[in-house]
Amino acid sequence: MGHPSVKVRIESLQPTASLLAEQVEAKLKVRYAVVLLVAVCLSMSAIAIWEGWNSRQYHLHDQEVAMSNLAQTLASQAQSTIKQADTLLFTLVDRVEKDGMGQAPYTRIQSLLSAQRSELSQLHGLFIYDENGRWLVNSNGAIVPNANNADREYFIFHRDHTDRGPHIGPSIKSRSTDEWIMTVSRRINHSDGSFAGVALATIYLNHFLALYDSIDLGNNGAINLIADNGTIVVRRPFNEAEVGTSVANGPLFTQFLPGASSGTATFKSVIDGVERVLGFRRVSGYPLIVSAALNKEEVLDGWRQESMNSAIIVSLLLAFLGALGYRLIRVMKQQNHIQSELLGAQEKLIEVNRSLELLALEDALTGLSNRRQFDLFMVAEMGRSRRSQTGLALLMIDVDHFKLFNDLYGHLAGDECLRNISAIIKDNIKRPADLAARYGGEEFAVVLPGTDYVGAFLVAEKIRRAVQLAGIKHTDSAEGTVTVSLGVCAYDPASQATSDDLIGAADKALYVAKASGRNMSVIAN
């Protein structure tokens, strides 16, 4: 066993702390450089992705706002168009009810209707039907023999409902002109309140389509004018088969309209399955909804191009940064490799020096410290004991009748005996700070820092008993086996100024042990 204070000369040959620290620091720098490079690249990628996502959301939101504004404008246009027709109907119904349903007033009304129709280009016609659905007056001047509209939805509605407000019916084809029209109608009553007929205004669907087609909504945009029961009144792009189709089960009616009269949404159309960004609004005063929508894929085309350009720029930047970082890290690794080779060469030289140093401080036969290391250790530990006021004890051990053992069994057996006893001594001193040394010949010494004479005596007895129990045969010994005698001494700074004083005291105790019959431990007085 040894102690750091004694191995200063050995440790001075170790790689210096600064060199090891530099090597560790160099390796850490490479790791930090790699981590920094990865962190920068990941951060740039994350920022680019985040910016791209924000740009996507902005594009969608911007188009939602645009569609909402467009829906509001189209709703105002629809409200204005229908309001003009409805105002005429209100005036017409009032006049008919005051003048009665006789034949005489209709000549003047016919002229009035024709004049009003010519003022409003969106009007297809103005009509009055009696309680049986027969044509009484029409603004077009058309003569349709035996014409009867009692089967039309608007006629049936007013016949069965006493409501005096306007009614927006489903889009139909005119029987007189075969054109698609929207119907706006009001009920006419007799003086007793019973059903007297219907006043009808029809509006060209082309009036709406002309406006809708003039709006740029891309290749797959759509504008819908829908009744509040979910029936399509008119749709752009126009398809006759879609007029009257119900979208009441679509997301617009099931999710959005129940909670709001206007808003924006993104969903797939139940008509053609295209996902669109949509703005919707109810038409003020009438049971209609206007929606304007852009194809989501077309909305995102511009965003995709911007994102692609950004991705290319970021990729080029990352590639340049990666190449630069790779080159830097490679140079740092090469420097570390060179430094490691230099340090390895230094360590080999240190190992050679260490071996030489150990040969100078270690007993070749027993592997214990030699006399030189023992002397250095004693000086160092006595100085430590004086400074820190801690205990220090010394054991001097001598093999009993060893000369007789050598004469009887030979020197080779004697050497083996010394090696066995050395091993026993090392096994019984476990602390790293303790030192076991071959003092000379068959004599050993054990230095116990931080130990008083009581603790030292206990260690001495452990060693003595262990040697005796080892049963090394010695027929010329009284015990029949090899035994040892031990002198125990605790350091006293007052009376022991030098290491020789402490050694001398332990030697005296050893002499007493040998003189008193051997195979015992004696504490110095």
At 101 the pLDDT is 60
Structure tokens at 41: 């690249």
* In contact, 148 and 132? CB cutoff 8 Å: yes
At 2 the pLDDT is 47
Q: Residue 72 pLDDT > 80, yes or no?
A: yes
180 in any annotated domain? yes
CATH number at residue 37: 3.30.450.20
Buried b (16+ CB within 10 A) or exposed e, 48-63: beeebeebbeebbeeb
Q: Residue 116 pLDDT > 80, yes or no?
A: no
Instruction: Give the count of beta carbons closer than 10 Å to the beta carbon of residue 118.
Output: 10
Question: pLDDT category, 111, cuts 50, 70, 90?
Answer: low
At 8 the pLDDT is 44
Which of 219, 206, 223, 205 shows the shortest CA–CA distance to 269?
223
Which of 384, 399, 523, 351 shows the shortest CA–CA distance to 452?
523
Give the Cα separation of 489 and 14 in Å (integer). Answer: 35
**Cis bond upstream, residue 237 (ω within 30):** yes
Question: pLDDT category, 334, cuts 50, 70, 90?
Answer: confident
Give the Cα separation of 437 and 213 in Å (integer). Answer: 109
Burial of 107 (0-12, 13-18, 19+ CB in 10 A): exposed
Lookup result for tokens 């009269």? 261
Structure tokens at 524: 């110095």
361 in any annotated domain? no
521-523 and 232-236 strand pairing: unpaired
pLDDT digits (tens, 9 = 90+) for 362-382: 998 999 999 999 999 999 999
Same domain, 158 and 239: yes
At 12 the pLDDT is 47
> Which of 351, 442, 461, 479 is labelled catalytic?
442
Give the Cα separation of 258 and 196 in Å (integer). Answer: 36
345: CB partners within 8 A, 6+ apart: none
Averaged over 400-416, what is the pLDDT?
94
83 in any annotated domain? yes
Same domain, 310 and 382: no
At 11 the pLDDT is 47
Instruction: Give the count of beta carbons closer than 10 Å to the beta carbon of residue 133.
Output: 17
Question: pLDDT category, 306, cuts 50, 70, 90?
Answer: confident
Enter the pTM of the model: 0.57
Neighbouring-strand partners of residue 288 = 227
Averaged over 170-184, what is the pLDDT?
88
Same domain, 242 and 384: no
Question: pLDDT category, 55, cuts 50, 70, 90?
Answer: confident
Same domain, 305 and 444: no
Same domain, 260 and 118: yes
Which of 154, 226, 229, 145 shows the shortest CA–CA distance to 186?
154
At CA 219, angle to CA 123 and CA 178, rounded to 5? Answer: 30
258 in any annotated domain? yes
Which of 128, 125, 136 shows the shortest CA–CA distance to 179?
125
CATH number at residue 428: 3.30.70.270
Same domain, 160 and 218: yes
Query: Does residue 341 have an active-site annotation?
Result: no
423 in any annotated domain? yes
Averaged over 338-343, what is the pLDDT?
78
Across the chain, mean pLDDT equals 86
Structure tokens at 485: 């005698």
Same domain, 315 and 453: no
* In contact, 175 and 148? CB cutoff 8 Å: no
Same domain, 111 and 232: yes
Structurally, the chain folds into a number of domains equal to 2
- The kind and range of the H/E element at 13 are none
* In contact, 296 and 176? CB cutoff 8 Å: no
When mean pLDDT is compared across 124-138, 156-170, 423-437, the lowest value belongs to 124-138
350 in any annotated domain? no
Which of 369, 333, 430 shows the shortest CA–CA distance to 33?
333
Same domain, 309 and 403: no
Same domain, 64 and 118: yes
pLDDT digits (tens, 9 = 90+) for 475-499: 988 889 999 999 999 998 888 888 8
At 38 the pLDDT is 86
Same domain, 310 and 376: no
CB half-sphere exposure, 305, CA atoms < 13 A:
5
Question: pLDDT category, 181, cuts 50, 70, 90?
Answer: very high
Give the Cα separation of 310 and 261 in Å (integer). Answer: 39
Q: Domain range for residue 145? A: 29-328
pLDDT digits (tens, 9 = 90+) for 427-470: 999 899 999 999 999 999 999 999 999 999 999 999 999 999 99
When mean pLDDT is compared across 140-149, 468-477, 516-525, the lowest value belongs to 140-149
71 in any annotated domain? yes
Question: pLDDT category, 336, cuts 50, 70, 90?
Answer: confident
Instruction: Give the torsion through C-alpha atoms of 83, 84, 89, 94, to 10 deg.
Output: 90
211 in any annotated domain? yes
Same domain, 278 and 152: yes
At 175 the pLDDT is 78
367-to-167, 419, 420 alpha-carbon distances in Å = 117, 8, 11
At 115 the pLDDT is 67
